[in-house]
Amino acid sequence: MTTTRFQNLDLDTMTVLRDEIAALPVVLSGQFDAKIAEYKKARDALAEQNLIAKTVAEAEALRDKANADALALLTKAKAEAEKVQSAAASISASADAQLQQAYTQMEAVKQAQSDVAAAQAKLASDRATLNALQTQLANQSLSLDAGKKALADAQAKLKADQDDFNKRLAIFTAKLDALKV
């Protein structure tokens, strides 16, 4: 067996050598520069496509991130809206309760005003009754005073009549006694 200088080469080096040997007919035929230009053109197109793919991938990543951010914001906004809606419902219920309480208090005030008006009317009626009774009492007091004066006059007349009767009785008794003797 004869040893060649290519036996100690690894597979990658052998692949490169094979490609170079395959390129020799292209170089010898004068198409080497055209093939290089074609490869460069293909490489540039591949680089452009890679750049477009990278840009598309970045755009898709941005779109996905924007969608995720929008979804997160939408979820947060929905939660905030639900909180606001819940707070509004609570405030509305509280306002309704306060309104009902105010209405009840207003009705109580109206009833109290009505009661006060009735009490004032009764007080006015009682005052009128009291004034009438005071007038009647004053008239009865005057009548009583007149009756007392009439009684005093009658008692004075009775006393005068008794005194006169006693005088006459004494005179009659004295005359009767004088006749008895």
Q: Is 6 inside a domain boundary?
A: no
Give per-residue pLDDT as tens, 95-136: 989 999 999 999 999 999 999 999 999 999 999 999 999 999
Can you give the pTM of this predicted structure? 0.38
User: 26: which residues sit within 8 A by CB, 6+ positions away?
Assistant: 32, 35
Give per-residue pLDDT as tens, 14-46: 777 777 777 667 666 666 677 778 888 888 888
DSSP character at residue 63: H
Q: Is the pLDDT of residue 6 over 60?
A: no
Number of domains in the chain: 1
Q: Is 103 inside a domain boundary?
A: yes
Q: Is 142 inside a domain boundary?
A: yes
State mean pLDDT over 45-72. Answer: 88
Q: 18 or 179, which is more confident?
A: 179
Q: Is 1 inside a domain boundary?
A: no
- The 3-class SS string of 1-33 reads CCCCCCCCCCHHHHHHHHHHHHHHHHHHHCCHH
Q: Is 3 inside a domain boundary?
A: no
Residue span of the structural domain in which 131 resides = 11-180
Q: Is 75 inside a domain boundary?
A: yes
